[in-house]
């Protein structure tokens, strides 16, 4: 896993966690998803809160993305994984893993 976050852009951006191919193969994306799902449910499914994912270019891992509305609820998880503030992903085929179903428009659902 790579990345860092000091919270400077808290709430102002998307966030990204980059997993190595080994971490992804070992199920780390599923661990993050389980933790995020628990937070999402405990917060009564806030509108705009979502976790999405996509393979990294060249097949060298997997990136997990979080919408800006995720920060207030999942900041401890994002900090624990040293999530990087990022722009809204463009040119990447994202899969909605957990979150606001309205965000599924334009994204594939991951199962």
71 belongs to a structural domain? yes
Beta-bridge partner residues of 50: 99
Q: Which two tokens stand for residue 7?
A: 């919270």
Cβ 67 vs Cβ 99: under 8 Å: yes
Count of the separate structural domains present in the chain: 1
Cβ 96 vs Cβ 107: under 8 Å: yes
43 belongs to a structural domain? yes
pLDDT in tens, 93-106: 889 999 987 775 55
Helices assigned H by DSSP within the chain: 21-25, 28-42, 71-80
pTM to 2 decimal places: 0.82
Would you state the pLDDT for residue 62? 97
- Domain residues for the domain of 84 are 14-109
79 belongs to a structural domain? yes
64 belongs to a structural domain? yes
4 belongs to a structural domain? no
pLDDT in tens, 40-59: 999 999 999 999 999 998 88
Residue 88 CB-density burial (10 A; 0-12 exposed, 13-18 middle, 19+ buried)? exposed
């Amino acid at each position: 896993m790579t990345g860092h976050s000091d919270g400077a852009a808290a709430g102002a951006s998307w966030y990204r966690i980059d997993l190595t191919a080994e971490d992804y193969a070992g199920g780390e994306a599923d661990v993050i998803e389980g933790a995020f799902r628990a937070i999402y449910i405990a917060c009564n499914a806030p509108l705009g809160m979502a976790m999405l994912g996509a393979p990294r270019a060249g097949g060298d891992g997997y990136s997990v993305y979080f919408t800006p509305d995720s920060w207030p609820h999942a900041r401890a998880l994002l900090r624990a994984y040293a999530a990087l503030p990022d722009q809204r992903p463009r040119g990447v085929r994202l899969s909605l893993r957990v979150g606001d179903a309205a965000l599924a428009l334009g994204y594939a659902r991951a199962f």
